[in-house]
Amino acid sequence: MHFFQRLEETSTRNTSLLCVGLDPDPKRLPDWCLEFADPVLTFNRHIIDLTCDLVCAYKPNIAFYEALGGNGWSTLYDTILYAHSKGIPVILDAKRGDIGSSAEKYAHAVFQRMGADAVTVNPYMGWDAVEPFVRYAERGVFVLCLTSNAGAQDFQMLDGNGRPLYEHVAEQAAGWNERGNIGLVAGATYPDELGCVRLLAPDLWILLPGVGAQGANLEIAVDYALRRDGSGVIVNASRAVYWADDPREAALRLRDQINAVRARKLEQVAQERRARPRASTDPHKVSLALALHDVGAIQFGNFTLQSGVQSPIYVDLRLLVSKPEALALAASEYGRILENLVFDRLAAIPYAGLPLGTAVALQTRTPLIYPRKEVKSYGTRRAIEGWYHAGETVVVLDDLITSGASKLDAIKPLRDAGLLVHDVVVLIDRESGGSEELAAHHINVHSVFKLRDLLDILVHHERISADQRAQVENFLQMQTA
């Protein structure tokens, strides 16, 4: 069975997202263990017996077994076997990271020799250091993304082209997950960054260290790491359970605390669903809306628009050129609007409107022209590219409309050339007064989406939260007040 299937099965059976770390120190073992030939293995079995109905996985750290010398390997192997006998999968915390044949041998060792169900790996050397592990499609591979130690800030939070390195790792790991066997390691000690990791990798399982002895706030960290289905996170506790006076009581307390957070998360999601606005059920619009989100064209944050206004949302439809399927969906929706208009040719506004206009022209077999942003000082010196005749009617195409000023600027050379402009078609109307401004100049604006309608679809299909939609609603009301 695939590792994550086994994990889900165990988590459901034990109603648990708790993982107990099995990290022995011979000097701390109780005296009663010393009577046995392998006291570490004896104590590990004791911990497993006490907690096997309270956990979803165990996580031995390989360093503690290497430190035992030659016998450490057999102790680790037998510990994994014993956990399996209780029906619990094992994540071997090895943090391997090497290239080529070395990585292949490491993968063979942890999976084939030691029998681990999953392993932690270091992505610092890139895909060729991770791929030999991912090749074992039935095993799990947890990529170090944001570790829980203080030194994580030395490299993992360094700026990389305007974003911290750990964000690039999260995105890259999600892209590597073609076999469905990759997860992430993200520490509970950095809750805000942890929340960012979850946003970047909404479906991946997160192995969450830092709870317990490292002092992270369990409730905050688990809330930030959980998926919307109340799962998707493995909360690791090592010393807090392994060396507790009563390991079973410590594990039970942690499991119940985690489950309380899960219950609140699920109730929050349920409330959002009950409050969800009615959204379009047009399958064409729904498919396009989801494609726009998935390509990254809808972004939330704090953005300065061309008008200088600060906005909580930014729509970047230039990204459509990198997703031909989404561009084709958009062109089809433009075509549906154009079926009800009367015109001779199309006119696309550079720059964002030009690839959209080209796609629409190809789908509808309609001639296309475009007004230049800057007239060349050489060659034909045309202000408008393409063939046309004065007196013809053109429909202007662009990506979106905020205010009407930029549309009027683009329409002016068309009208100066004797072309008639009565209609503008955009993919998104940001509902910031642009349509009303053009109406004052006897130009009708037709949009595939009003911004609010687009966001309603994304909320309904759980691509964004109701809170994100509410932020935009407040912004729009302030704009039109």
How far apart CA 90 and CA 120 sit, in angstroms, is 11
pLDDT of amino acid 473: 85
Q: Is 270 exposed, middle or buried (0-12, 13-18, 19+ CB in 10 A)?
A: exposed
The encoded tokens of residue 96 equal 């391997």
DSSP state of 90: B
Question: Which of these ranges, 45-54, 272-281, 448-457, has the smallest mean pLDDT?
Answer: 272-281
CA 189, CA 363: separation in Å to the nearest integer?
52
Could you report the per-residue pLDDT of 430-460, keeping only the tens digit for each?
Answer: 988 899 999 999 999 999 999 999 999 998 8
DSSP class per residue in 1-63: --HHHHHHHHHHHHT--EEEE----GGGS-GGGGGSSSHHHHHHHHHHHHHTTT-SEEE-BHH
301-316 pLDDT, tens digit per residue, is 888 776 677 888 999 9
Identity of the highest mean pLDDT range in 93-97, 162-166, 274-278: 93-97
Instruction: State the average pLDDT over residues 135-143.
Output: 97
Residue 273: per-residue pLDDT: 67
pLDDT at 379 over 60: no
444-450 and 384-385 beta bridge pairing: unpaired
State the pLDDT at residue 222: 95
For residue 332, pLDDT beyond 70: yes
Q: How confident is residue 275, by pLDDT bands cut at 50, 70 and 90?
A: low
Give the pLDDT confidence of 4-13 residue by residue, as tens digits. Answer: 999 999 999 9
Contact 138, 2 (CB under 8 A): yes
Q: What is the pLDDT of residue 277?
A: 61
- What pTM value is reported for the model? 0.65
31 — pLDDT class (breaks 50, 70, 90)? very high
Angle between helices 39-51 and 247-274 (to 10 degrees): 40
Confidence of residue 55 (pLDDT cuts 50, 70, 90): very high
Q: Residue 391 pLDDT more than 70?
A: yes
pLDDT tens digits along 98-118? 998 999 999 999 999 999 999
Is a pLDDT exceeding 70 seen at residue 145?
Answer: yes
pLDDT at 266 over 60: yes
CA–CA separation, 442 and 436 (whole Å): 10
Q: How confident is the model at residue 41 (pLDDT cuts 50, 70, 90)?
A: very high
Residues 6+ apart with CB under 8 A from 92: 59, 60, 62, 80, 110, 114, 116, 118, 119, 120
Largest separation between any pair of C-alpha atoms in the chain:
101
- High-pLDDT (> 70) share of the chain, %: 96
Q: How confident is the model at residue 480 (pLDDT cuts 50, 70, 90)?
A: low
> By percentage, how much of the chain surpasses pLDDT 90?
75
pLDDT per residue as tens digits for the range 77-97: 999 999 999 999 999 999 999
Mean pLDDT of the chain: 92
Residue 326 has pLDDT above 80, yes or no: yes
Tens-digit pLDDT profile for residues 400-438: 998 888 899 999 999 999 999 999 999 999 988 899 999
Statement: residue 378 has pLDDT above 90: no
All domains of the chain in start order, with CATH = 3-272 (3.20.20.70), 283-480 (3.40.50.2020)
In the three-class reduction of DSSP (H, G, I as helix; E, B as strand; rest coil), residue 413 is classed as helix
Q: Which pLDDT score, from 0 to 100, does residue 228 have?
A: 85
H helical segments located in 86-190: 100-107, 127-134, 152-155, 165-176
Tell me what pLDDT residue 463 has. 87
Among residues 27, 59, 86, 95, the one annotated as catalytic is 95
Task: Average the pLDDT over each of 171-185, 337-351, 370-384 and give the range with the smallest value.
Answer: 370-384
Residue 296 has pLDDT above 80, yes or no: yes
Give residue 437's pLDDT. 93
Task: Look at 85-89, 161-165, 253-257, 339-343 and tell me which has the smallest mean pLDDT.
Answer: 161-165
Burial letters 402-415, b for 16+ CB under 10 A, else e: bbbeebbebbebbe
| 95 annotated active-site | yes
Tell me the CB-side half-sphere exposure of residue 413, using CA atoms within 13 A.
18
Predicted confidence band of residue 176 (pLDDT cuts 50, 70, 90): very high
